[in-house]
Amino acid sequence: MAAKPKVAFYWCASCGGCEETVVDLHEDVLKVVEAVDIALWPVALDFKLHHVQAWKPGEVAVAFINGAVRLSEQEEWVKLLREKCPLVVAFGSCAHLGGIPGLANDESRREILANKYLRSPTVDNPQEIFPQESCQVNGYHLDLPNFWKEVKTLDQVIEVDYYLPGCPPPTDTVAAAVTAILKGELPPKGSVLAPEKSLCESCPRKDSKPERFALSAFKRIATSIPDAEECFLAQGYACMGPATRSGCGERCLHGNMPCRGCFGPPPGSLDQGTKMLSTLATLGEARDEEAAEDFAATLADPLGTFYRFSLPASLLRRSRRAEET
Amino acid sequence: MSKRITVNPITRLEGHGKIEIFLDEAGNVERTFFQVPELRGFETFCLGRPAEEMPRLTPRICGVCPTAHHMASTKCLDDLWKVDPPPAAKKLRELANSAFMVEDHYIHFFFLAAPDFVVGPTAPAAERNILGVIAKVGMEIAGQVIRVRRECRQMLQTMMGKVIHPVFGVPGGVSRGISEEERKQFLETAKFTIEFAQFALKLFDDVVLKNKQYLDLVLSDAYTHKTHYMGLVDQNNKVNFYDGQVRVVDPTGKEVAKFVPRQYRDYVAEHVEPWSYITFPYLKQIGWKGFVDGPQSGIYRVAPLARLNAADGMATPLAQAAYEKMYDTLGGKPAHATLAFHWARLIEALYAAERMQELLEDPEITSTEIRTVPTQTPEEGVGIVEAPRGTLIHNYWTDGDGILTRVNLIVATNHNAAPIAMSVDKAAKGMIRGGEVSEGLLNTVEMAFRAYDPCHACATHALPGRTPLIVTIYDAGGSPVRQLRRDG
Amino acid sequence: MADAQFEPRIVGFLCRWCSYTGADLAGTSRIQYPPNLTPIRVMCSGRVDPTFIVKALADGADGVLVAGCHPGDCHYQEGNYKTMRRYPLLLRLLDQFGIERDRVRLEWISASEGDHFAAVVKEFTEKIRALGPLHWNGKALAPAVAEPV
């Protein structure tokens, strides 16, 4: 095998954090450039649509795609990359699960536009101008791309071979995945390239987990000080650890803050949110209906806590509000 | 009938961007539109969430400057809950913010801006990238750039939990302090960073300022806009990235506004156009006068050069000396040369490095008094910091339980939206004559917006990096007659 | 919105020891109740992961019933207390999704309460009929009763 393998990076509705995590290879980035040819990276390299269209199938071994999908242009690009590349990896929470932008599936497009261009306290817009997909300004014709009503995960648009979880995927996870791909040492297709266990099992606080939990109410970090060593759930803080896959190094925990679930659900789980709901209820102590209701009432924002990163990937995918145009 | 040139996509911006250039009969530029086609809806989908989650939600607006959002958000929570963090907490936040400023500014300068200057704006396209820079300056220097970024980012990860999407900001303080061992280690990083910062300014001096062609470019009219300028200043009117009041000066340097965060809505308003999703902020007291500069226009600029213009100096000695030298060279204050943003950026990095050292030598930095727990009922808060790319405003309203009912964000690059559009327009008009569109157009148009380091500058990891651009020229009937590409 | 032609489709998770046996009793006692509910027998109401309930709704059910032993009578001691604690949390989640709370119901039905089971199914069916179809994502479960040829 004389030629270096070729890889491609592409981004959809993304924040750029997934690009930064690659640069966080620091000195090792230069090793990556030695080992592979990067055939596409729209924000860094000069390759354009016609170059990709000219690739022979299989010429570029793997496409790493980050970002959620909600523009028709993004759909075109990811479908083209799927056609050309034998391997497609969903890179990061947004491509894997929808990510935080996926929370827009709890809102209607109309509300988003009205809040931004009409009701914002700093916007001065008496003529109620809204950005248009197509408009004429003094005889000049201009257009903007079309947004979908719904944010989608990558695998809701194309078939995905592997998932690199995390917001963003930790740099060492990325390095391990790239190495595995280049060596051809991969688990079965459809796998998430991270350990097959939940975060609690690798958490630095796990030894402080009680044998039996008996929570009567949830606390909020806004109005209390978390202990730096005890299990967050045992302290009464909502922590997504039990319903989240391990592999991130528990950096948030080391920062003395609870997990918010960016690695997605553990293996075998269909829905991260309902899994977490089930766990929290199990940890409660209420034994009558009133106490159970009181307990439930102390959890602020179940949807946003359970589906912080995974709303588009959930069973319900979006709330009723998102259906309004 | 006018000809139309579409430049699409522009990269190194938040999401996607494009430029539409319309030519008149003579083939000169009539009008240029800089369009931002991205909107994600953070201000709406955060509603219903607990406010204390915002320092972990808003960094996802941008993975290049997540710390900026994290800081603005955390300060907003202090205001919301009417709680004053202990001094050590504020110092820890400012320390992290300073380290972040350093590494972010250098990523932009070396990976994005340097190719134009170290290799040259008209150098062959294939060399005008970070590898070309390395070829000219050598692997050792490249190693130093990577090292300064690595050390600062490792420091940030330790302090804030994560470097991409931090977690440690909470209302009334931070969730985690630093140990004495960490302090010592970070102090070494700070000292190395100061050395590097001085080297970077020297490099700029050797490569740009001593090169007449570049200096002429920096001072040229095509890249000059006489606008108002905005930035945070401390009580001595010196540049401060973390806290202070917002100060605005007019094109002559005279102060025309100074306000605390809570008052921002009295001074800043946003204009909407149907052809872009980004809004165009302007000074309310003057009003929206269109995409024009000058003292009668409400348009203002933010980010490095603007901050230095809006302040009376730098709070640390080495940076102050560099500041004075810059204004001497540029012919006084305020400086209107857009390309001087690059210079100001390096001066800011030096200040941030010196500030890191100051804070790390403060014995209070290892204190365990890092949190004041809120006791008041939340209602409304405003938090403002200086992000690398400009003044960043977070404004939240909640119900009595701290659940968000309304959110208003003015993100740094937002303030520069109109100036960027104008800079691109002016550069295009300066470069395109008689219908002739050349390779030079592509790069000089890029240089016009690149100086602002628009948010999402993903050239942080530019390897052979040039912005991919397609320029298509259509005749009056809409048929393409010529296409220019940047090809490898 | 009520629709006269609309036949609700309800999924019922019934615990083997109490509620499912109660349902059998309704049958052997020949107590009439609507056919709109499809029973699914589980060993304990505590086995009902909220995922099942949400999946049923996502896949086209208009309503979901979870029935278990009365508190204190759980065959496995603690199972139904877990169910009891899950229920109000799930309702709050459904509120946020915009799904009417009345579409998911928790009942305690013992092995001897055949008539209670029938009454619950009858009342619940009418309640869902009044709410109208959910048809989440445009999906609907196949009719409970085959159309006459």
Domain boundaries, chain B: 3-40+418-485
The CATH number of the domain holding residue C25 is 3.40.50
Q: Are residues A48 and A94 in the same domain?
A: yes
| pLDDT computed for residue A96 by the predictor | 98
For chain B, give the percent of residues with pLDDT over 70.
86
Structural domain tally of chain A?
A: 2
Closest CA to A174 of A224, A238, A248, A231: A248
What is the 8-class DSSP label of residue C101?
A: G
Q: How many CB pairs under 8 A join A and B?
A: 262
Distance of residue A191 Cα from the nearest chain B Cα, in angstroms: 25
Is A90 found in the same domain as A23? Answer: yes
Distance CA A145, CA B36 (A): 10
pLDDT for position B483: 54
Residue A7 identity? V
pLDDT in tens, B84-110: 999 999 999 999 999 999 999 998 888
Model pTM?
A: 0.92
Strands B470-474 and B173-174: unpaired
Answer whether A309's CB lies under 8 Å from A262's CB: yes
**Is residue A317 situated within a structural domain?**
yes
CATH code of the domain in which A179 resides: 3.40.50.700
In this prediction, residues B464-476 reach a mean pLDDT of 42
- A115: closest CA of chain C, how far (Å): 19
Using CB atoms, pick whichever of A20, A41, A122 lies closest to residue B408: A122
CB B78 within 8 A of CB B172: yes
C4 domain residue, yes or no: no
Residues recorded for chain A: 325
In a domain, A124, yes or no: no
Distance from CA of C4 to the nearest CA of A (A): 24
Is A147 a member of any domain?
no
pLDDT at A325: 58
Average pLDDT in chain B: 86
Nearest to B256 by CA among B301, B286, B287, B294: B286
**Which ipTM value was assigned to this complex?**
0.94
d(CA B265, CA B288): 15
Alpha carbons A291 and C121: distance in angstroms, whole number? 27
Residue B286 is encoded by which pair of tokens? 């003057």
Contact A168 B63 (CB under 8 A): yes
Partner-chain contact B374 A145, CB within 8 Å: no
Within-domain flag for C1:
no
User: How sure is the predictor about B3, in pLDDT bands with cuts at 50, 70 and 90?
Assistant: confident
Q: Is residue A54 part of a domain?
A: yes
Residues A28 and A82 in one domain: yes
Q: Which of A6, A49, A122 has the highest number of chain B CBs within 10 A, making it the mutation to test binding with B?
A: A122
Identify which has the larger pLDDT, B104 or B469.
B104
A218 and A173 belong to one structural domain: no
Residues 6+ apart with CB under 8 A from C18: C67, C68, C69, C70, C73, C75, C108, C109, C110, C111
Whole-number Å distance between alpha carbons of A9 and A26: 18
Q: How far is CA B411 from CA B61, B384, B417, in A?
A: 9, 10, 10
Indicate whether A12 belongs to any domain.
yes
Domain annotation covers residue C62: yes
**Is A20 within 8 Å of B460 when comparing Cβ atoms?**
yes
pLDDT for position A112? 77
**Those residues with Cβ within 8 angstroms of residue A86's Cβ, 6 or more apart along the chain or in another chain:** A57, A58, A61, A62
pLDDT (0 to 100) of residue B37: 60
**pLDDT, mean of residues B370-388:** 97
Q: Which residues pair with B270 in a beta bridge?
A: A123, B281
Domain residues for C25? 10-136
pLDDT band at B465 (very low <50, low <70, confident <90, very high): very low
**In this predicted model, what pLDDT tens digit does every residue of B412-460 receive, in sequence order?**
888 988 888 888 888 778 777 777 776 556 566 777 777 787 763 222 2
Q: Residue A273: its pLDDT value, please?
A: 97
Closest Cα in chain C to A319? C97
Rounded mean pLDDT, B466-481: 48
Instruction: For residue C137, list chain A residues with Cβ-Cβ distance below 8 A.
Output: 317
Q: Residue C146 domain-assigned?
A: no
- B477 at interface of A, judged by CB pairs closer than 8 A: no
Angstrom CA distances, A54 to A57, B257, C39, C72, C87, stand at: 9, 56, 56, 69, 55
Partner C contacted by A298 (CB < 8 A): no
The tens digit of pLDDT for each residue in B143-199 reads 899 999 999 999 999 999 999 999 999 999 999 999 999 999 999 999 999 999 999
Cβ contacts of B421 within 8 Å, gap of 6 or more: B32, B33, B34, B280, B291
- Chain B contact for A289, CB < 8 A? no
In this predicted structure, what is the pLDDT of residue C53?
98
Number of domains in chain C: 1
**Could you tell me if residue A169 is inside a domain?**
yes
pLDDT value, residue B9: 54
Q: Is residue C130 a part of any domain in this protein? A: yes
One pLDDT digit (tens) per residue for chain A, 325 residues: 457 889 999 988 888 899 889 889 888 877 877 788 888 876 555 466 777 889 999 999 999 999 999 887 788 889 999 999 999 999 999 999 999 999 999 988 788 778 878 888 888 888 888 777 777 777 777 777 667 888 999 999 999 999 999 999 999 999 999 889 888 899 999 999 999 999 999 999 999 999 989 999 999 999 999 999 999 999 999 999 999 999 999 999 999 999 999 999 999 899 999 999 999 999 999 999 999 999 999 999 999 999 999 999 999 999 998 887 5
Same domain assignment for residues A158 and A46 = yes
Mean pLDDT, each 10-residue run in order, chain C (149 residues): 75 96 96 96 96 97 97 94 97 97 97 97 97 93 75
What count of Cα atoms within 13 Å lies in the side-chain half-sphere of residue B411?
27
Radius of gyration, alpha carbons of chain A: 22
Domain assignment of residue C148, yes or no = no
Domain span including residue A288? 199-321
Q: What is the DSSP string of B123-160?
A: S-GGGSSHHHHHHHH-HHHHHHHHHHHHHHHHHHHHHH
Give the model's pLDDT for residue A47.
Answer: 63
Residues of chain A neighbouring B143 (CB-CB closer than 8 A): 27
Distance CA B271, CA A259 (A): 39
Are residues A275 and A163 part of one domain? no
Instruction: Give the residue among B8, B442, B382, B357 at the shortest CA–CA distance from B186.
Output: B357
The interface residues of chain B toward chain A in range 70-99, judged by CB-CB distance below 8 A, are 77, 81
